[in-house]
Each structure stands twice: as C-alpha cells, then as structure tokens.
Amino acid sequence: MMKVLLLLFVFFGVSLCEVGNISEDDDAALEKQVKMMSKPPVKTFVTAEGDTIDCIDIDKQPSLEHPLLKNHKVQKEPTFHVTSPGRNFSRMKAVQFRLREPCPVGTVPIPRVTKKDLIRARATPKIPFSASSRLDTFQHTNMNTRWLGLWTICDPLGATMLINLGDSNTDDIKYGLYGRTSIYNVTVAQEQFSSHNVWIQSEPLDHVSMITVGWMVNPKLYGDSVPRMFTFWTGDGYRDGCYNLLCPGFVVVDGGAFFNKPLVGSTYGGDQRELAILVQQDRTTRNWWLLIGFPPATVGYWPKELLPNLQDGCQITAWGGVALAGSDGICPPIGSGQKPDGDYRHATYFRILHRIDVNGTFALPSRNVMETVDQSNVYGLKNHRYEGSMGYWIGYGGPGGKCFG
C-alpha cells in the first residue's frame, strides 16, 4: 500500500512540480523571460561543442534587467589586486576557460537562453546550503529524506546529499575563499547530478544568501552528460537566484570567458585536471567576484544588491560535493567514484584551501572546521589538513549506490 501511495505521489509530484506542469500562463511567462534575456548580439558564434554564444554590449547584458539593478553601473574590474595561492605542477593542470576567439571589445559572451533551458532549470533541484552545525546537518538530511514523493520532488533541494568541509567559525568573518578541485568524467543517470563545488554563505537559513561555484555533470540542467563549470546563487532562501546565467543576476566582464565550458576529466591514477576557484568580495564595492583558472581570470561578479546577507563578508566557507539521487533511491558517483584513500590521484580532491580574512590575506581554514557526509555508506571525506605542495586539502567522494528507500 505504502509503495503504491509513494508511486502515486512520485507520479503526481512530477506532473505538479516538474516539466509536466507547463500551463499556458507558465508558457507565456517563460516566453517573456526568454525575450527579456535576449539582447541584440553584436556577434554570434557556435562553439565546437555546439553551444550558441552571443556577444552582448557589456552595459546592456541581460543581468542588468534585474529590478534591483536598475541604476547599477557595471564594475569593469575589481578594486583589489588579483592574486591566488599555490604554484603550477606538471601533473596537475588548471583548466582554462578561454573561448577560441574572444568577443569584440566592449562586449561579453552570454550563452543563448532558450525556453527549453528554462524548463530544464526549473526541474533541476538546487544546490543545498552547507551545514554550519550538527543541527543543520540533521535538518538538511531530514529535509532530503522526507521521501513521500511530493515533498521531495517539489522541494527546491530534491533528494540532494551533502559531502563537505565547512569553516563556520563565526568569530572569523570571511571575505572569500580559494580551492582547486580535480575534474572527472563522472557517469550519472538522467535523474541524477554529481556536483563538486565551493560555498559562500550566511544565515539565517530560511533566508540564506549563498554563492556556489564548481563543476558538475547534470543531464537535467544541461541536457548532456559532460562535466561543465557552473554557478548557483540565491539571495533569499531559494526564493530568487538560479544556475549560471539562466536569470538576471551575475554580471559578466570577461570578453573571453566561456561560462559553462565542457571540461575534460582527469586520468584516474595519472595526471589531474583541476578547476581553480577564487571567490572574493570587493571591500570597496561589496560585489562578490568570481575568478577562475591559474593564474585567475576575472570572469565577473554577483552585485551586492542581490545578496542581502552577504553585504560584509560571509559566515561560512565550504568545499566538497553534492549528489542528487534519482527516484529509485540510487545516488550517483562523486568525483572519480572512489572514496578517499590518501592518494590524490584516486579520489577527487579540493586542495590549497584558503579563506580570505579581514585583512584581505589568504589564511588556512580555521581549527574547528566541520565535516558533513550525508551517506557515509557510499561517500567519504578525508581531511588531510596541511601537507606540503597539496596545501590544506581534502579527498572526498565515492561510488554512490543505494542511498535511501
């Protein structure tokens, strides 16, 4: 009986909250959003991977359509000196994000948004907030195992599992974070996603302001199964915000950055390919900058207007992964699909972890960091702390498998 009920809920859940429910009103709203986000391109090109990119006047980009950005003047570069910790190693290559040919001067590359993209994004669960205490972990886990279909599928977070290291020492306000994570060509099912990312976050949780950046394999969102860079933000507890550039918000300044570029994975046991991520608040303008690669390229920023709880630094920085389970209760692999065993060429890692302190200095994570592993039967996390050329590092991930139901 329970099983039948569950199936019914899941069935209706899907039709109520996901792709099935596109009413005429919705359809009109989506059309309107696509229209609002489409600006006349100065130039258009199709990448080798088949993505259509429009070069749009930097001062007319779709993000400026956000009602809170009516009088926003685009900040063309950070006021701080851009630098990042760590060195080059021949066995670990930071992936580059350049378009083969940049957009003309004064324009920025914006991946073209279609109605299909918006429908897919709507059906994709969001990146869960990072836990800052045992209680949050409990709430998070509880929220995501409320397996009476409707809730789970209508819940913005879906059946997401969290594996991360969080620095939530609230005595230390943080103005940014740094980390490099290895990329793998993870295989996931259509209903799952596998994410590897950082968090910048401040409470209260029901109005959480949050920025996440990393790479993921997410067929729901992208319509393909290749690792791609992503961002997700919300200013107000999932009531606003979105993935990537699928809603007004993130301001692009780099004419050569390919926002959601497909990435090539690392070789298990061999050379590693890394995504180097720096998120840093500009203390003069209070905007949060995104810098990718090594040396870091200034991609753009989240304007302060959108992040009410991130006006002056953040409470939590975190590094790790998120897994979305399918309705069959199967969790996808995270990273290479292996639990951390101490060898950086085996499980995926985050290394050279830093937070940015009140003086704008790169500092190691604080002493009382917290580890969260939602499904320790199928995932693991190992905190190696500081180890020579790896810097402060963690191994994380695992094979996935049956995780509930």
What residue type is 338 in one-letter code?
A: Q
Residue count of the chain, please give it.
Answer: 405
Nearest distance from C-beta of residue 257 to ligand NAG, angstroms = 15
Q: In the complex with ligand NAG, which residue's Cβ is closer, 26 or 59? A: 26
Judged by beta carbon, residue 159 or residue 297, the one nearer ligand NAG is 297
Where residue 32 falls (left for φ over 0; alpha for ψ -120 to 50; beta otherwise) is alpha
Q: Which stretch binds ligand NAG (CB under 6 A): 35-43, 152-160, 314-322, 354-362?
A: 354-362
Q: Does 88 bind ligand NAG (CB under 6 A)?
A: yes
Specify the residue, 8 or 16, whose C-beta has the smaller distance to ligand NAG.
16
Q: Which residue has the tokens 């995270």?
A: 334
Q: Under the phi-then-psi rule, with left for phi > 0, alpha for psi from -120 to 50, and beta for the rest, what region is 385?
A: left
Least distance (Å) from ligand NAG to the CB of residue 372? 25
Q: Classify residue 195 by burial, with Cβ atoms within 10 Å: 0-12, 13-18, 19+.
A: buried
Taking the complex as a whole, the smallest distance from the CB of residue 23 to ligand NAG amounts, in Å, to 5
Q: Which is nearer to ligand NAG, 46 or 358 (CB)?
A: 358
Distance of closest approach, residue 54 Cβ to ligand NAG, in angstroms: 27
Asked whether position 225 contacts ligand NAG by CB under 6 A, the answer is yes
Asked if the peptide bond before residue 62 counts as cis, ω within 30 degrees of 0, the response is: no
d(CA 319, CA 310): 18
Q: Shortest gap between Cβ of 43 and ligand NAG (angstroms)?
A: 26
**According to the binding rule CB under 6 A, does residue 191 interact with ligand NAG?**
no
Q: Which is nearer to ligand NAG, 83 or 311 (CB)?
A: 83
For 25-41, the DSSP string reads HHHHHHHHHHHHH----
- Report the distance separating Cα 377 and Cα 314, nearest Å: 32
Minimal distance in Å, beta carbon 81 to ligand NAG?
A: 15
List the one residue from 59, 358, 386, 405 that touches ligand NAG (CB under 6 A): 358
Q: Using alpha carbons, select from 355, 118, 143, 357 the residue that is nearest to residue 242.
A: 118
Map residues 6-25 to x or -, x wherever contact with ligand NAG holds by CB under 6 A: ----------x----x-x--
Residue whose structure tokens are 């290749």: 226
Site string for ligand NAG, 35-74 (x = CB under 6 A): ----------------------------------------
Residue 136 beta carbon to ligand NAG: minimum distance, rounded to whole angstroms: 25
Backbone φ and ψ for 246, nearest 5 degrees, come out as -85, 0
Q: Which is nearer to ligand NAG, 223 or 295 (CB)?
A: 295
Residue 29 contacts ligand NAG per CB under 6 A: no
CA distance 241 to 309: 14
Pick 71 or 88: Cβ nearer ligand NAG: 88
Structure tokens at 47: 């990448």
Q: How many CA atoms lie within 13 A of 241 on its CB side?
A: 26
Angle between helices 115-122 and 24-37 (to 10 degrees): 120
For residue 283, give the nearest of 77, 85, 79 by alpha carbon. Answer: 79
Taking residues 237 to 276 in sequence order and writing x for each that binds ligand NAG by CB under 6 A, - otherwise, the string is: ---------------------------x------------
Residues in contact with ligand NAG by the rule CB under 6 A = 16, 21, 23, 88, 185, 187, 225, 264, 294-295, 357-359
